[in-house]
Structure 1
Amino acid sequence: MRNTLYFLLFFLLFFQTLKAQNKYWSEIKNEQQIKYIGKREIIPQKYQTIQVDFTSLKQYLNTAPKGLASDAPTSSFVFDLPMPDGTSQRFKIVESPLLSADFAAARPDIKTFSGYGIDDKTATLVMDYTPHGFHAMVLSAVNGTIFIDPYSFGETSYYVVYYKKDYKLSQEKINQTKSCGYKETDKDHQHDKKDKKNDAPREKDGANGNISFRPSGSQLRTYRLVVAATGEYTQVRGGTVASAQNAIVTSINRVRGVYEKEVACSFTLVNNAAVVYTNGATDPYTNDDGGDMLEENGDVLGRSGGGGLIGFNNYDIGHVFSTGGGGVAYRGSLCTNTKYGGVTGLSNPIGDAFDIDFVAHEIGHQFGGNHTFNSSTSGNCTNGTRSGGSAYEPGSGSTIMAYAGICSPSNLQNNTDNNPAYFHTKNYDEILDVIEARNCIVPTGVVNNIPTINLNRISGLNIPPSGFKIPASTPFFLGADATDADAGDVLTYCWEQFDLGVASDPTPAGTLTTAFTGPIFRSFVPTTNPIRAFPRLVDLVNNTTRIGESLPATSRNMTFRVTVRDNKNVSGVRYGAYLVEVVNTGQAFAVIVPNTSVNWQGCSTQTVTWNVAGTTANTINCANVKILLSTDGGFTYPTTLLASTPNDGSADITVPNINTSQARIRVEAVGNFFFDISNANFTIQSVAASQFTMSSTNINSVCRLNPIGKNHIITFGNISTCNSPINLSITSPSVMPTGITAVLDQTTISSNGIVNLNVKATAAATIGNSISFTIAATNSIGTITNSFTFTVADENGCNSAPTAINSNLMSYPQDIESYVIENEMMKGDDPEDALLPGYNLRFKLRSLTSSGTLKLNGVNMAVNQIFSRDDLLNNRIAYYPNNRNTELDDLFQFSAVDSQNAESNAATFSISLKDAKTPTETQVLLYPNPLLSSSDEKILINLEGAVSTTKLKIMMYDMKGSLIKDFDTIKLTQFGRYELDLKGLSTGVYALKIQTGKASFTKRFVKEN
């Protein structure tokens, strides 16, 4: 009883712990009831409002284990976080301190946390609480970016939960963001040269020059970051040093969440109390001039020559927050003499636009990242801000180091949209170059396997030595083959074009590009789908176009990189590069019919047509295509209509018997990755189809220990394209009785035929047990069942009689003294004995011949005499005609006898002796044909009417007319036969030219595996 009480007490406590998390917040249905303090700063277009028990929440979070962000995936501390849609998601949580030890001691009211998704394994979480409330940011490849922020400035009880996409800045505020620049001092140029010398080499080569560069994520590099603040910044963030510190912690914690996940870099915030200013009139910064503040920050923080309030040796990277001056930084200044060189200034320095689009961008410069946009004449995208060596994104670009939203009319999107912030693959290279070259900190090992990429395969295809070539103006898809040794990791894939060119604005939406170089496809957020269509499938389906996505209309080469992430908090990242060659054939490969809103009937035959566009030649050499059907408007293609058909522009298909108004056809290359889809949804209407028939030959009993068991034979009829395929299953018994096994030799059929259910009983089966079986056959129309019952019988009652197989009439030439009765002419079968060692079926002579004598080893045979298969194989039995000069017909009867003396019915062996003549074409037979490699690889030539004195000349040719072998002149057996040994002959079709003294014949045969 005591143990039971202990268990109940433990269960209740555990249950209450789980339930307690949800008590920290509750949904606010009526926003009017909120009595908030401070100014509302973040007002999304859509959001959920919650009320939080801030004190209890802090107490609960304080019990979380401490660790690095990389420890979150293995934490046992589970935390439920509310989502914008009213649901919640679970995360594994660690307290991951951002503050340095002395900073944390001075500010025990600040805590930071990291989380890893349980319900969404692509989601990572950073959270903090300060005296200004609770803050959270979720980065998810599935749900995008999610924020939780106080309802108003300084509020700790009420919060807004929202998607990033639902918080849109005004155009005025957008224009203020990312008026960014960067500078490179002479010293920094020297460091850049050193970086290039120390670039880590590519990891390995794949086919066609495809490459995989160094991975990241096995080590975590943590840098000491000090952030100063102008008096103007402090005033808009509460007016005190502590209030400014609160805001800085939230911003840097969110930046840390991005850098840990993207490039395995983290930060420790240096105590900045001495460099957070409260009076803009007396602070040492020029708040509205970012260029001046770069060097002013060096004076404040400390230079290599000494001085400063922090000290040069007490930080690795420095930054200052302001409310003006835009963003500017010394590129690659991390751990250099200009490491203080980073400025971020915005009039409203809060939220994602400041933290990610702005601060993460400027720190990216300090880590070595360049701008990646290629536009040079739109908005803030100018020749002064474009970086020619890294301009891999069309238009404004969309990644962290691009200018999304501020390069109208070349904007690809607003800021970084709802997507989790990520670096372009070029920036990934640049940042890793810098952190590996600087080597100013000791990294911490991370237990995480990095994803691997098979560089010799793309889109499920092995890459040929010559690579892949695709037609111009034609959609294509690329798919990665990647794995991760860590069970449970969910990989995401980001395909990015990696081609530089001259500065240019993207072509207008909907137009093709004739550019021979440069980027024409934009970067999209990483997804869990390893396959990306170019252009995106959603645009192809909707017949829409978007800026930054243009199909090439000319011959050119394009390089694509796929970056694979395992989405841990400190993410394992690796990328591979692939080359695609575009060939301008003058036309686009395109579906022609159906291309309108037609109506097709189920089970009907329809013709799909497409423009081949020279793809069977022009070095593309696509011989076959696959035709697929979509029923969801073109997004998925689960039905294969033709797996491979000649790429000749037309093919007949059978329409599935379904109902849909969202049908699309997709024609794609076999052995390549270009394709096209039909332009419009069309309708398929099902027709009333007759059902198949199902009958059976039932078994009444199954004997124990019978090694071959018994077959319940099911016969199917009336199967057509309208009622197939048919899936078969054993529905009863649901659990097989002891000692009984039952196996269907087919589980799916699509044509009329027979299916066997083989039933066996072992010694464990109970004799006399009656067992009922039901087999279900199911198709799109319905289900038909077949039931039968059998009894388990004793093994002694299982002897079934063998079968005697009578030969066809065999004609022999007359004028021969005796004729051997061969095994090929007299056969029998016993499946049970065939499984026994030393199987040797016996025969019984049931009647004698009338015009001659049967002899065994030269001795006359008698009725009921037993002889064996070995006697036949060794030519011991012969027929002696009474008059060898006379044509005659004769016969005898025989039966087969098995090892248990069970005897078959009598079979008849017929004999015919005719005058020897030159055989005709129809009398020349080859057996077996086809000749199988699994046989003894000998082929028998039979010339009916020929005699042993007939001599043959045999020559063998292949189908090109080349002589394979010239056999010497050979002599036939007494029955006009000759056996050719063809061991080792390759598969194919051959011709035998057979010459006799009077005639010549040519016979074909096939050699198969």
Structure 2
Amino acid sequence: MKKVLTVLSLCIATAVSYSAVAGVQSGSQFNEWQKLANRDDLTRVNSQALSSQQLSTNIAALNQILLTNRDSVIITLPLPDGNFADFELKPSAIVEGGLNEKYPNIKTFSGHELGKPDNHGRFDITPQGFHGLFRYGKETVFIDPQYRDSDARYISYFRKDAIPLNLANMPKRLPPKIRDKSQQAFTSHALRDAAMVPQAMASRDKDAQAQATQLKTYRIAISATGEYTQFHGGTKERGLAAVITMLNRVNDVYQADLAVKLELVANNDSLIFVDPNTDPFANTDADGEANTGIIDNAIGNTSYDVGHVVGTGGGGLAALGVICDVTAKGDGVTGSPSPTGDAFNIDYVAHELGHQFGADHTFNGLTDSCDGNRADSSAFEPGSGSTVMSYAGICGQQNLQDNSNPYFHSHSIDVIQAHITTGTGSSCAQVGTTSNTNPEVNAGADYTIPARTPFVLTGSATDADGDPLSYDWQQYDLGPASASAAEQVDDGKRPLFRVWNPTSQPSRTLPRLEDILLNKLTIGETYPTTTRELNFRLMVRDGNQGLARDSMKISVVDTSQAFAVIEPAAGSSWANNSQLVTWNVANTASAPISCSKVNIQLSTNGGSSFDTDLAMGVDNDGSHEVTLTQITSNSARIKLSCADNIFFAVNNGNFSVAAGTNEQSIEITALKTPLTMDEDGELTLSTDMYQYQGLTATSLTLQAGNNYQVNGNTISPTADFNGELSVLVIAHSGSIESEAFPTLVSVTAVNDAPNAVNDASSVSQDSSNNVIDPLSNDSDIDSGDQLSLLSLNYTGQGTATIINNKISYTPAAGFSGSETITYTLQDSSKATASAVVTITVNATNTGTTGGSGSETGGSSSGGALGFWLFILLPLLGARGLRGRDL
């Protein structure tokens, strides 16, 4: 693969002005990058990357802008593809104040692309030049000086194009050192595993968020051997600058995954040694044990929380879980002949510090350097693994990739979080709150699937802060080790699926879809072939120190055969007419898998997408006839998936679809049965309600009309409508559609409850048998329904009764004031409603009994003859005559 890199040089004599490059934004405070017309001698190129294009910049102007500006600045950065992007950089110190003041030419930043906060990273300016690392879309971009002895040239490159660290001369790495209660180092695997098991098992039982909304800051003291400083320029300032660039990169990972910030101590320059002949180190792995005492003598034991030493010899070795441990907190060493770039900063420094924070190795292989270094209780990654605590690139045939990726496995996060939250590592952190809220994540339901069959995991997550989220599905199973690439297969327990880079999509296909389409497997992924459980975690990061996880489980059933498409086979030829898709059901229609329906979809681009639905929700019986219309392709693929599960199959290769010669059509000829529904209800129409001529319908479209609303395939009559609806329906078969068919729906009337309205009435104190007509202002939408009083609820001291469909009310003797009667009415169909009559009893001034027999209805009041008329009028047959009308 050709590696695309952009190189930046100060050879202005051959430069082409940056201003001629499209994409320059006027808001940038620095955009002085120029492309060079000529290639330079590549023999001196830094081993971090190869170059394919050279550029130059005004480094003095860049220094001036970054070092003198206290607030955020906007600068233009070059991208590896030759384009440019404007980034906002804000000062983000990772050193204590005293060191900042002593070395004003060293400054670190965090930043993001304008308008695209998900493209973010960390940057620094030092006497070694400008360094940047940032996420850009799906890639990670680095901007570094091209040569370590000059800040005149720069290279902009994708992380994937970096040249792997040359491991030929590297010593074999060792497992972390475990210390017993007497603080004596030992490397016994039994003791090491015993030390890790309680944390590992405890972390597996919880599915809480992996970190709280707190930022823990640890003071770190980093020693540098004379050899390391000589490699980086030979002066104390340049050695310190290299350490800060390294720590800036490590912080990018530790803050994102652990909400941990490592802050370089104020007097760390006293730990940067210049002369290899006089420094106190041997430049080997043995320097780790000596480092705690060396740091203590130089700056004092209480001045730091964790220590480390970097050099050019050895490899990497650290004591396990020693942060805050006053006797061993500096016991960590990293060495490399080329101590620069991600191959050093992530694979080695971040890894060894991970040991000091309590995490052990996560790889499950036993080849080459993996041999003797595997930790039983944390071996969650197949082969060499690929996360920070893996051995990517140094496990021979079991290597998943050349270098580790810059993030931790969820188990490593669990163990470190336990150590710094409730373990001994919690005793020295400075804890601060952040304004960030962790995401909320849902890994979805558990499923039962057949063995030997691919599947798709899909979760979901939300973030209260609106941060862009990344998704990382990780298998979480322990099992026996594998001693070769050939042994990385399912034995019923061991991990089968490697960790890939987080993406912006909440789904992961296992194995990778590109491998399924090629009928091959990438090392680190293999099909489950036994009856077993697969446990998965969905890790969600918000890019702002927030991280959360959720778990789900898959039960795999060994059905002896794979759920697989049989026809069409690779190389088949289809025409645009009816074709038969056949598949091996593999006992998936039976319990416990119980997949009764499947979906059949077509891809015309070799499987990149499956956009054409040929048949959805059809019986899982091994065959189904589908119809193709107006489709041509030489790279067609068929995907068969369970309609209510996560497993699927793709036919074994591309086939062709040619244009057919027969006209195809579809027509709705009739309803199979008449359609009826109740007033104010809903009715969903489906393809199986109709009879067709020609093709078979795969979907329907409902058109809007009178007296109903449409929502997808569901109709809702207008409120209180009853009668007959005519709904126009169009049937579809692929891209072919029918004429609109009038579907008649009979809407049956249903009785509506009456409407009761609250009333108010007034009577005189000590009156009796006052007549109140509460029904006078009540109603019923159903014409012809007669209303009648059903019951009263009165709790006062007077009396209230129903007489002739009205209320006869007598207040208690001497009572004046207000009280209520709740009445319930019913219509002819026994539907009921209730309302309240509020009665005001007016006090009399004469002391005599007021008029009696008043009648009121609604909000009015009647006269003194009301009661007698109420008694006499029915006897006289005076219909409709009301007391208040006299």
Taking structure 1 as the reference length, the TM-score comes to 0.62
- In the aligned structure 2, how far is the partner of 1:656 from the partner of 1:210? 53
Aligned to 2:777: none
Q: How far off is 1:119 after superposition? A: 5.4
Q: How far off is 1:224 after superposition? A: 0.8
Decide whether the 8 Å contact of 1:373 with 1:402 is kept in 2. yes
Pair 1:183 & 2:177 matched: yes
Aligned to 2:248: 253
- In the aligned structure 2, how far is the partner of 1:396 from the partner of 1:722? 53
Q: How far off is 1:723 after superposition? A: 12
Pair 1:492 & 2:492 matched: no
Aligned to 1:49: 54
Q: How far off is 1:659 after superposition? A: 2.4
User: Which ranges of structure 2 fall in alignment gaps of 5 or more residues?
Assistant: 1-22, 186-191, 668-691, 718-729, 741-745, 750-754, 756-781, 787-828, 831-886
Among 566, 569, 572, the residue aligned to 2:546: 572
Among 355, 363, 374, the residue aligned to 1:373: 363
Aligned to 2:407: 422
Pair 1:115 & 2:111 matched: yes
Per-residue Cα deviation, 1:803-839 (whole angstroms, up to 9, x for no partner): xxxxxxxxxxxxxxxxxxxxx9xxxx9xxxxxxx9xx
Aligned to 1:333: 322
Among 501, 505, 513, the residue aligned to 2:479: 501
- In the aligned structure 1, how far is the partner of 2:383 from the partner of 2:532? 20
Q: How many positions carry a matched residue from both structures?
A: 685
Aligned to 1:480: 459
Change (3 A) 1:692 1:479: closer
Q: How does 1:321-360 map to 2 (within 5 A)?
A: 321-337=310-326, 338-360=328-350
Specify the SS of the correspondent of 1:549.
Answer: coil
User: Which ranges of structure 1 fall in alignment gaps of 5 or more residues?
Assistant: 1-14, 67-75, 203-208, 303-307, 694-717, 731-740, 757-775, 787-823, 830-836, 838-868, 874-935, 938-1009
Q: Over aligned residues, Cα RMSD in angstroms? A: 4.2
Per-residue Cα deviation, 1:733-778 (whole angstroms, up to 9, x for no partner): xxxxxxxx999967999xxxx9x9xxxxxxxxxxxxxxxxxxx999
Q: How far off is 1:548 after superposition? A: 1.5
- In the aligned structure 2, how far is the partner of 1:412 from the partner of 1:279? 39
- In the aligned structure 2, how far is the partner of 1:535 from the partner of 1:86? 34
Pair 1:30 & 2:38 matched: yes
Change (3 A) 1:178 1:719: farther
Aligned to 1:214: 209
Q: What one-letter code is carried by the residue in structure 2 that aligns with 1:427?
A: S
Aligned to 2:293: 299
Q: How far off is 1:266 after superposition? A: 1.1
- In the aligned structure 1, how far is the partner of 2:130 from the partner of 2:484? 42
Q: How does 1:273-288 map to 2 (within 5 A)?
A: 273-287=269-283
Q: How does 1:579-658 map to 2 (within 5 A)?
A: 579-602=553-576, 604-658=577-631
Pair 1:529 & 2:529 matched: no
Q: How far off is 1:301 after superposition? A: 0.5
Specify the SS of the correspondent of 2:299.
Answer: coil
Specify the SS of the correspondent of 1:423.
Answer: coil
Q: How far off is 1:281 after superposition? A: 1.6
Higher alpha-carbon deviation: 777-786 or 394-403:
777-786
Among 393, 405, 411, the residue aligned to 2:399: 411
Among 448, 457, 461, the residue aligned to 2:436: 448
Taking structure 2 as the reference length, the TM-score comes to 0.70
Aligned to 1:659: 632
Q: What one-letter code is carried by the residue in structure 2 that aligns with 1:429?
A: D
- In the aligned structure 2, how far is the partner of 1:493 from the partner of 1:447? 22
- In the aligned structure 2, how far is the partner of 1:507 from the partner of 1:296? 38
Per-residue Cα deviation, 1:464-506 (whole angstroms, up to 9, x for no partner): xxxx22111111221112222222x222221111111122135
Aligned to 2:842: none
Pair 1:470 & 2:458 matched: no
Query: What is the aligned-residue identity percentage?
Result: 36
Q: How far off is 1:609 after superposition? A: 0.9
Q: What one-letter code is carried by the residue in structure 1 that aligns with 2:420?
A: I
Q: How does 1:826-841 map to 2 (within 5 A)?
A: none
Decide whether the 8 Å contact of 2:320 with 2:358 is kept in 1. yes
- In the aligned structure 1, how far is the partner of 2:698 from the partner of 2:531? 45
Q: How far off is 1:245 after superposition? A: 0.8
- In the aligned structure 2, how far is the partner of 1:784 from the partner of 1:157? 70
Per-residue Cα deviation, 1:331-356 (whole angstroms, up to 9, x for no partner): 11111121111101111111111111
Change (3 A) 1:662 1:479: same
Aligned to 1:557: 533
- In the aligned structure 2, how far is the partner of 1:624 from the partner of 1:426? 37
Q: How does 1:74-89 map to 2 (within 5 A)?
A: 78-89=74-85
Among 130, 153, 176, the residue aligned to 2:148: 153
Per-residue Cα deviation, 1:110-151 (whole angstroms, up to 9, x for no partner): 1100013445544321110111210011135x3322111112
- In the aligned structure 1, how far is the partner of 2:696 from the partner of 2:66? 61
Q: How far off is 1:263 after superposition? A: 1.0
Q: What one-letter code is carried by the residue in structure 1 that aligns with 2:641?
A: E
- In the aligned structure 1, how far is the partner of 2:384 from the partner of 2:514? 21
- In the aligned structure 2, how far is the partner of 1:632 from the partner of 1:361? 42
- In the aligned structure 2, how far is the partner of 1:781 from the partner of 1:499? 46
Per-residue Cα deviation, 1:631-690 (whole angstroms, up to 9, x for no partner): 221232222222211111111122242222222111111222111111111222344758
Aligned to 1:671: 644
Return the index of the structure with the highest Cα Rg. 1
- In the aligned structure 1, how far is the partner of 2:144 from the partner of 2:784? 96
Change (3 A) 1:615 1:724: closer
Decide whether the 8 Å contact of 1:471 with 1:620 is kept in 2. yes
Q: How far off is 1:46 after superposition? A: 4.5
Pair 1:546 & 2:532 matched: no
Following superposition, which runs of at least 4 residues in structure 1 exceed 6 angstroms of deviation? 188-202, 690-693, 722-730, 741-749, 776-786, 869-873
- In the aligned structure 2, how far is the partner of 1:58 from the partner of 1:284? 34
Pair 1:395 & 2:383 matched: yes
Per-residue Cα deviation, 1:209-249 (whole angstroms, up to 9, x for no partner): 99623332511112111111111111111111111111111
- In the aligned structure 2, how far is the partner of 1:41 from the partner of 1:404? 22
Decide whether the 8 Å contact of 1:210 with 1:579 is kept in 2. no
Decide whether the 8 Å contact of 1:450 with 1:484 is kept in 2. yes
Aligned to 1:95: 91
- In the aligned structure 2, how far is the partner of 1:870 from the partner of 1:150? 88
- In the aligned structure 2, how far is the partner of 1:654 from the partner of 1:777? 14
Among 295, 302, 319, the residue aligned to 2:308: 319
Decide whether the 8 Å contact of 1:215 with 1:450 is kept in 2. no
- In the aligned structure 2, how far is the partner of 1:536 from the partner of 1:16? 38
- In the aligned structure 2, how far is the partner of 1:557 from the partner of 1:253? 40
- In the aligned structure 2, how far is the partner of 1:512 from the partner of 1:194? 27
- In the aligned structure 1, how far is the partner of 2:441 from the partner of 2:536? 14
- In the aligned structure 1, how far is the partner of 2:277 from the partner of 2:183? 35
Higher alpha-carbon deviation: 658-667 or 392-401:
658-667
Q: How does 1:909-988 map to 2 (within 5 A)?
A: none
Q: How does 1:851-930 map to 2 (within 5 A)?
A: none
Decide whether the 8 Å contact of 2:613 with 2:734 is kept in 1. no
Decide whether the 8 Å contact of 2:665 with 2:695 is kept in 1. no
Q: What one-letter code is carried by the residue in structure 2 that aligns with 1:484?
A: D
Change (3 A) 1:592 1:355: same
Decide whether the 8 Å contact of 1:599 with 1:682 is kept in 2. yes
Q: What one-letter code is carried by the residue in structure 2 that aligns with 1:168?
A: I
Q: How far off is 1:276 after superposition? A: 1.2
- In the aligned structure 2, how far is the partner of 1:639 from the partner of 1:64? 56
Q: What one-letter code is carried by the residue in structure 1 that aligns with 2:129?
A: G
Q: How far off is 1:28 after superposition? A: 2.4
